Every structure is written in C-alpha cells, then in structure tokens.
Structure 1
Amino acid sequence: MNYKEIDLLTEIAIAYYEQELTQEEIAKKFNISRIKVGRLLKKARQEGVVEINVKYHPIFTSQLEKRLIEKFGIQRALIAIDEYNEDEQRKQVAALVSSYLSNSLKDGMTIAVGQGRNIAAVGEHIGIFPDKNCKFICGIGGVQRIGDPVDADHICRNLARKFNGINETLYAPAYLENKEFRNIFMQNGLIKETLDRARKADVALVGIGDMNENSYMVQLGWFTPKEMTDARINQGVIGEIAGYGFFNLKGEPVDTVMNNRVIGLSLEDLKAIPCVIGIASENAKSMAILGALRTGIIDVIATSASNINTVLNLANT
C-alpha cells in the first residue's frame, strides 16, 4: 500500500469507529459506494490499520472454563483475553501460568520443564514470585539456539531463580537423527537418572504445537517440512505435545517417521505426571488444542479466549 491508500483507510476507520458515522454517511462524505466503504473497513483490519481486541469479562471466561472442565475433565483452564499482537498474547498467557504456579506450587515439588517460546515466556515473566523450595528439571535435552533462548535448561534456570528454587540440567542433546544413537543415549546412566526424576515430577510445563511447516522444530532441522506435511495429510496428525509427541484429532498417539528422535519425556511419561500444564497462546492452534485435550494428558490448559471458544464449538460438531 502507498501512503495515499493508508491515509484513506485511516480516515474511513476514524469516521466509522471513533466518530461513529454509518457506512452510508461515510459513503456520502467520501463520494464512494457503501459497498466500497465496507470493503475498505475490512481492508483496514487486514492491513493492521484497525486492531479489534475483545475484552472478555471475568464472568465470561469463568463460564468458558466451567464448560471446558465439564467437557474434558481437566483441572483448570487459564484463559487470557485476545490480543492482536502474537507476542503480547504470549505474555498474557504466560502471566496467567506464572500466577497459577505461584499459587499452586508447594515446597518439595518437582516441575518438569519443556522447551519453546510459550514456556520461555513463563520464565521471562516479570512479577513478584514467592519463594518455593522446588526443583525445576529439564524434561528434554538441549537444543541449538537459533534466536531467543527457548531451550529447557535456560527456562529451568529462569524459573528456579524467580522462585528461589533449584534446577537440574539434562546433559544430552534433545535431538539425534539416528534412532539407534538416540536409544544408546537414553540408556546412559546420567541421562536415564535425570529423566527418571523428571518422570516422577509433580507438575510438567509443555507446549502444544500444530503441524506447521515453519514450526520451531522444522527451523531447528529436527523435522523437514515434507515430513510434517506427510504426517498431517497421510496420517491425520493434528498436533504435538512438547515438540515431538504426535497425535490425531481424536487424541490418539500417531507413530510417524519423526518419532524416536528426541531425548525427552514421552507422551506416556507425561500422562503419569499429576499436573501437566499445556500452553498454546497462538490463535491458530485451536485444532491442536482440541486433540491435545483428548489425549488425556493435559490437566491445565493455558491459551486465549478465542481458542477456547473454537475448541468448544469444534468439540460439539
């Protein structure tokens, strides 16, 4: 768009949203058709000239949570208001998870920590954290940093520092392309002991991902875009938990060519942990969230109100 187009979109948006003129009045003012006014208002939203955020009342989100608990039998739903900006949405969700941890963690608990931007945002949340005599332990090995630090070890250290607890590193790479090498690593005494402690955790923090060809795991080189596409189209994979535990829309685990490459907690391991907190702030992940809830692994879901609305609608179809 050029400056002239932006100016026109801005003027029309101001007339409609701030001055509260009707589309008919705007059409006369700018000497254009009412149909064109509607198209320009839509374009103003698409181009980011206008941002519409629905501010949900706490009563509304509590009703959504109640419906979700009744539908899936989970413990809690942490529902953030919708934000146009993805980074801001992630911060809103992270703030709710941080508050939940502050209120629910008890001395002596162990928290298994996954990787990814949504989990990292919890560790980076700024606030007042009560001292908790807890251990934050890596539920997955280390990854190469290709941008912001979103590896489990970095997040564990952040959380331990905030809650004045301790952290434990999993001294292993997260990904090994050769499955035989991966199996050998899994039998290493030090690695096995750390994972065994993580399996006995009281709480787990994991991300929920969709089958996006541009996902973080693809960027890391773990999986190829073709592998992701094939799993989605040919095997019905709708999402993953923790970056590598694949499932379909029914919540059933799916054995893909991408399985058994990662050193970390399995879906079965996570299912045995009393409280698994699944985080998915992005508004494109409603289908993945629905599948994840159906796995029976997720005990607390943290996401946006629009995602919850969509999940409930999809679950009833």
Structure 2
Amino acid sequence: MRSGSAEHEHAMVRAAELYYNDGLLQSDVADKLRVSRWKVGRLLEEARQSGLVEIKIHHPHSRRRDLEQRLTSRFDLPEAVVVESQPTNAATMDLVGQAAADYLLEMRPGPDIIGVSWGHTLAAIAECLPEGAFNRPTIVQLNGGASSLRDTVDAGSIIRMIAGKSRDPRTALLPASAIVQDRELAHRLRADRQVAGTLHLAGRADVAVYSIGVLSPQSVLVTTDCITADELVELSGAGAIGDILGHFIDRFGRVVDFELDQRTIGLGLEALARVPRSIAVAVGEEKSEMTRAVLYAGLCTVLVTESNIAQQILDDVPEGHE
C-alpha cells in the first residue's frame, strides 16, 4: 500500500471512520483492516496531519452516519451503510460498490457461504474486492441468470471474479434462467439435482448480497426476454414496482403475480428473509420506492445505498413512523 496512492487514501478514511466515528480501539481497527496496530496509528496520524480529520471526516468515501441512524431507527433495520451521492451515477456506483465490499471484508467472523445475485451493481462490488478477500469461501448463485448480457455482469463472471480474489474458493452456479416459460418446466428444473443442490446451499448462506431492480422496459429481465412486454404491462397493472431475485413485488413488499413467481428460479423471499445477513444494494434515485418496499417487508438486514435514495425514503415516510 504505497503512500499517496488511492488505496492508501482509502485506508486512511476507513481507519479514521472506525476509530473516531465508531469508537473502536486501534487493535480492533487493525483487525478489521487486516493491518498491524502500528500501521493503524500511522494512518490516523497521517489523516490528522493532512487535514482529512478535523471534527468530521472530509472525503467522498465518508459515510452519512446521520442518514444511517435515521434509517435504522425508522425501519427497525439492524444496519445501514449510506454514502454521499455523486454528480454521476457511475461515480456513485463506485462509492456504493466500495462500501458494500468494505462491509463484506469487515464481517467477523468472515463468511463461509456467500450468496450473490448478478448485474452491474454486483459486478461493481466484486471489482472493489481486494486480492485475498475471503478464505475458503463457497460462493453461490442466488437466482437464475439471463442470456445475451453485455459486459461481465452475468452471474458466472461475477462469481469467478470473487473466487479469483479468494483463497481456496468453491463455487456453485445455478444452471437455469431467472424466469422460465411455464410452471411445469420450473418444477422439473427445481427437481434437478444440481439446481436443487444450489438452491439448498443458497438457503444456508451466511450472507446474501443482491441488488434492487425496478419495473422498467430497460430492466435486464425485459431486455433479455426473461419476461415479455405483455407481462411487463400486466405486472404494472397488478401493482408491481420492481423485483428482488426475479420475484416481483408491490410497494408493500408483496408478490404480485403468483403464476409468474412459480416460474421464477431462485431463492424464495421467505428463505431470503432467513439468511442471517441479507444485504440489499441500491444505486439510482429511481430505486427509492423499491428500496422502501424492501425495508417495509423486512427483506434485508443491511441496506447499502446512496444519500439521495436514503433522503427520499425518509422524506416520503410520515414522521410518526420514525
């Protein structure tokens, strides 16, 4: 970690946050950041000398503790991680991806079974993980995939990236589409030994990381023909506002189309709610309503998001619910 590098600067920010904001001992900070206690002392000293730390932490990576506390209080949410929204969606995605990666790295004990979905948000998180991120993890796909994806945002690419940055990893892919054509096919697929085994393993995950999807013609589930244009219209008419792992829900977090849901291949919402740490990640203000629905339904124990989404959620909820 070369002095003056972006990695060094990020380490200064995290050390300062953990020590000054969270009140951890330097030995605890060292454990979380996987460095020596001496190194933590040097990072804190450099942070003070550089002006990074005064009364508060001056850096885009610094979290919005005020919004985090309001979210956890209002929605009875165990944990929230909120970063400052940036001028562009790409810049915000980078910060949210790093924040989610930091959360995973700082879990103690480290996760043995890590469940992941796919898409641009999960790819951003995987890219932010350092080499040697996890020790002997099993990385499992939470929901079926889609064909004709651009870039490397498919489940296989994301899982391989995380595995490549881990020591002695195991992987479990889900060889099925996110949504199939009919219920009979879905039933047969779930009975397949490999599919059933992967779904069973996903239900045993220590942590599940997924992104929040919105109902839109630009949704990857639409552009890859997992659902048709007619089904999109029907879902909208039924009150759907987006999906979690391919399960379409309304603003109260309820599944809206049971026939379609029976054709969905992936971890069910009830099973997701039983995962010890389920991390929902949201970037883009258009996801505010869906993020609020996820919080209402208790579908995550940790929310990682940006300040614009957090503020909009809090503004739209009556003060009496806080």
TM (normalized to structure 2)? Answer: 0.75
From 134, 156, 170, the counterpart of 2:173? 170
SS at match of 2:272: helix
User: Where in structure 2 are the equivalents of 1:65-80 lying within 5 Å?
Assistant: 65-80=68-83
| CA–CA distance in structure 1, aligned partners of residues 248 and 138 of structure 2 | 28
From 225, 229, 234, the counterpart of 1:225? 229
Q: Offset of 1:167 from its aligned partner?
A: 3.3
Q: Offset of 1:179 from its aligned partner?
A: 2.0
From 150, 167, 176, the counterpart of 1:147? 150
| CA–CA distance in structure 2, aligned partners of residues 283 and 164 of structure 1 | 36
CA change 1:316–1:226 in 2 (3 A) is farther
Q: Offset of 1:284 from its aligned partner?
A: 1.3
CA change 1:69–1:165 in 2 (3 A) is farther
SS at match of 1:194: helix
Q: How many residues align?
A: 261
From 272, 275, 280, the counterpart of 1:273? 275
Please provide the CA RMSD for this pair. 2.2
Identity %: 25
* More divergent stretch after superposition (175-184 vs 194-203): 175-184
Name 1:17's counterpart in structure 2: none
- Deviation readout 1:56-89 (Å, 9 max, x if unpaired): 9888811111110011122221212112222222
| CA–CA distance in structure 2, aligned partners of residues 132 and 206 of structure 1 | 21
SS at match of 2:241: strand
* More divergent stretch after superposition (267-276 vs 170-179): 170-179
Are 2:200 and 1:196 aligned?
yes
SS at match of 1:104: coil
CA change 1:126–1:109 in 2 (3 A) is closer
Q: Offset of 1:146 from its aligned partner?
A: 2.4
Q: Which is higher, the Rg of structure 1 or of structure 2?
A: 1
SS at match of 1:237: coil
Name 2:262's counterpart in structure 1: 260
Name 1:216's counterpart in structure 2: 220
| CA–CA distance in structure 1, aligned partners of residues 294 and 268 of structure 2 | 14
Q: Would you say the 8 A contact 1:208–1:279 is kept in 2?
A: yes
User: Where in structure 2 are the equivalents of 1:285-296 lying within 5 Å?
Assistant: 285-296=287-298
| CA–CA distance in structure 1, aligned partners of residues 233 and 86 of structure 2 | 29
- Deviation readout 1:115-157 (Å, 9 max, x if unpaired): 1111111112264554423211111234323201222222122
TM (normalized to structure 1)? Answer: 0.76
Name 1:308's counterpart in structure 2: 310
Q: Offset of 1:238 from its aligned partner?
A: 1.9
- Deviation readout 1:264-293 (Å, 9 max, x if unpaired): 111112111111111111121101100111
CA change 1:71–1:100 in 2 (3 A) is same
- Deviation readout 1:138-188 (Å, 9 max, x if unpaired): 112343232012222221221122232513233422232122111101011
From 120, 124, 149, the counterpart of 2:123? 120
